[in-house]
Amino acid sequence: MKPLPLYASLVVGLAILAAAPLYGDNYVVRTAAIVAMYGALATSWNFIGGFTGYPSFSTAAFFGLGAYVGALCQRSGVPMVVAWAIASVAVAAFAALLGGILLRLRGHYFAIGSIAVVELCRLIVSSWSSLTGGGDGLNLPLVQGTPEDLMRFFLMVMLVILAASLLVTILVDRSRLGFGLRCIHQNEDAAAMVGVNTTAYKVAAYTLSAVFCAAAGATYASWTGYIDPTDSFQIVLTVKVVVMALLGGAGTILGPAIGAAAFVLLEEVFWANFIDWNRAILGLVIVVLIFFLPGGLLSLRRRLMPGGAA
């Protein structure tokens, strides 16, 4: 996409979400916040899954760890916003260390390894009762204010995280890092041969994919006021985020966020009426996507408008 339309659609999209309190009730504001949150998660996944082509399923691990680190900080008296920052930095460091090990695997093996990370985190958090409260979960200090104020506040926070993740995406896309990551996606051996430091680049992408997830997780914990292991480390969350990114267009700048918005809206207006079939419909969406829309929603623009900007 050319820079101008890109920035324009970005600003318009964020503005529509930010203006939710003006045109909708609390339910609409909540939906907007959820869209922003999933948008940030999908945009994060895009660094490792979209640009680099490594099918990571670690999103839920980063989200859950962010939630727990943030919650534990807040419970020991750290101010809320500082707790979010600590959670982001700590989980980013964790991802960098883990990435050095996990990214030696490729393809399916990496995918399986990254799922194992989610399960391991969940098991450790639920077993370590003395610190995490185990299966009983953790309560967080409640934020004071009316439900409307709170909703608005958390919408803004999620929007800031989404905007930050998009901004970093744009920067990466234009940098040597982004170019190197795309080379790795195309052909990792050849990338190494032209002098891309593949290990460092992959670890950088994996770390970037963690930091905003952690921020979103920590924010989510403060928002709901209570977290437990099963809710924080959901495999379904991980899968959903990947589907959102693919739905919008993996490896593009805005695609994952657009996919997240489309997915959440579909879920709210449509699947919510088919509770029993929810997961089955998710499966169907995945299959349809892979067969008919491998380039995501953004590729429709190119198909429907021949000669349109790629």
Residues that bind other proteins (CB under 8 A): 176, 180, 183, 186-187, 189-190, 192-199
Q: How far is the CB of 109 from other proteins (least distance, A)?
A: 14
Nearer to other proteins by Cβ, of 195 and 307: the residue is: 195
DSSP state of 273: G
Token output for 253: 């700048």
Q: How far is the CB of 188 from other proteins (least distance, A)?
A: 10
Q: How far is the CB of 199 from other proteins (least distance, A)?
A: 7
Q: How far is the CB of 191 from other proteins (least distance, A)?
A: 8
Distance CA(292)–CA(54), nearest Å, equals 22
Nearer to other proteins by Cβ, of 14 and 250: the residue is: 250
Nearer to other proteins by Cβ, of 54 and 57: the residue is: 54
Nearer to other proteins by Cβ, of 127 and 197: the residue is: 197
Burial pattern 244-280, b for ≥16 Cβ within 10 A else e, equals bbbbbbbbbbbbbbbbbbbbbeebeeebeeeeeeeee
Nearer to other proteins by Cβ, of 194 and 305: the residue is: 194
Q: How far is the CB of 299 from other proteins (least distance, A)?
A: 14
DSSP state of 136: G
Contact assessment for residue 237 and residue 59, using Cβ atoms and an 8 Å cutoff: yes
Burial pattern 63-76, b for ≥16 Cβ within 10 A else e, equals bbbbbbbbbbbbee
Contact assessment for residue 118 and residue 60, using Cβ atoms and an 8 Å cutoff: yes
DSSP per residue, 218-262: HHHHHHHSEE-HHHHS-HHHHHHHHHHHHHH-TTSSSHHHHHHHH
Q: How far is the CB of 104 from other proteins (least distance, A)?
A: 12
Distance CA(118)–CA(237), nearest Å, equals 10
Token output for 216: 């979103």
Nearer to other proteins by Cβ, of 189 and 276: the residue is: 189
Q: How far apart are the first and last CA of the chain?
A: 6
Any idea which residue has 């958090």 for tokens? 125
Nearer to other proteins by Cβ, of 3 and 195: the residue is: 195
Q: How far is the CB of 28 from other proteins (least distance, A)?
A: 41
Nearer to other proteins by Cβ, of 187 and 230: the residue is: 187
Q: How far is the CB of 244 from other proteins (least distance, A)?
A: 24
Q: What stretches of the chain show up as alpha helix (H) in DSSP? A: 3-18, 20-23, 26-45, 59-75, 80-102, 107-127, 129-132, 147-174, 176-186, 188-193, 198-224, 229-232, 235-248, 255-269, 278-292, 298-304
